[in-house]
Structure 1
């Protein structure tokens, strides 16, 4: 199975929940996680979009970015950093980088963040998520990476395998 087959499998395992008039309608990608053939190819397929970039770390927002990001990170042989949403820094003494996003698809402003020590100035960072509607979270993550003085190598999303 390779890229076109992976795309086809993703489409087959994807469904919309709710009808078009339902304000709570959502994209349900949980079928992706159930299919071992898709799960085993998601990381390599997304990493393929950035084969020449050589990231040193992959970042992804909770929740589904934390499922996909590690699959991509494993393919590159690098680590993964979770970008937390609307979480306060824990009671530890670590410094946190935080940014507030522009409005998302639900008109929310989210606060994104991670421990500053997890992304350093020498890092080349790839952002991975499953779905991008408005780009607000990607924009906020990009600003966080700039705050860490690291290099943004790009954004990979699995819906139809796009490089942004």
Structure 2
């Protein structure tokens, strides 16, 4: 089976397992992606499908934000045979003595500013970093990860997401965002 056929199977499975909850006019309408995690065949295909988006220049490490990025990131990292670094959100002051890199995000989709970070020793100057998450709407989380990558002296490859819900191309180009689906396909 070719990579293109497998990719189309994953995309089709994502669309089938997805649901919008609430009426279109409902201010509390939301995207329900929980069906993605329930299907083992979909989980098995997600890592390779997201990795394929950056196959031409493999990373040395994958970053993923709490929480969905911590589900998807390791799947992509395993496919590439590299490690994974969790990007924490709003974690309080650590009681350990490790140095941390931290950044505050621009407003996210709920107009919040979040504090992102990871232990400094987990990323270095020779690393090529791929950010992985389920959904990108404002780019705030990916932007923070991009800044943290620069703070570590590492090279940013881009952001691999399942769904692209960005409203313009500026963030997509700056962060090199590549996605399996656009929100219009859901």
Question: Common fold, TM-score beyond 0.5?
Answer: yes
The answer to whether residue 82 in structure 2 is matched with residue 78 in structure 1 is yes
Alpha-carbon separation, structure 1, partners of 2:26 and 2:161: 25
The TM-score normalised by the length of structure 2 is: 0.84
Q: 1:86-134: per-residue Cα shift (whole Å, max 9, x none)?
A: 1124200001100011111111001110000111111110000000010
Residue correspondence of structure 1 range 11-160 to structure 2 within 5 A: 11-159=15-163
Q: 1:137-163: per-residue Cα shift (whole Å, max 9, x none)?
A: 111110000000000011100127x61
Task: Name the counterpart of 2:167.
Answer: none
Greater RCO, 1 or 2 (C-alpha within 8 Å, sep 6+): 1
- Of Structure 1 and Structure 2, the greater helix share is in 2
The TM-score normalised by the length of structure 1 is: 0.95
The answer to whether residue 7 in structure 2 is matched with residue 3 in structure 1 is yes
Cα displacement (A) at 1:28: 1.1
RMSD: 1.4
Alpha-carbon separation, structure 1, partners of 2:37 and 2:156: 28
Structure 2 segments unaligned to the other structure (5+ residues): 165-176, 180-186
Alpha-carbon separation, structure 2, partners of 1:54 and 1:129: 17
Structure 1 segments unaligned to the other structure (5+ residues): none
Q: 1:26-62: per-residue Cα shift (whole Å, max 9, x none)?
A: 2111111111111100000000011121200000100
Alpha-carbon separation, structure 2, partners of 1:128 and 1:24: 26
Q: 1:62-98: per-residue Cα shift (whole Å, max 9, x none)?
A: 0000000000000000010000111124200001100
* Matched positions, count: 163
Alpha-carbon separation, structure 1, partners of 2:119 and 2:23: 40
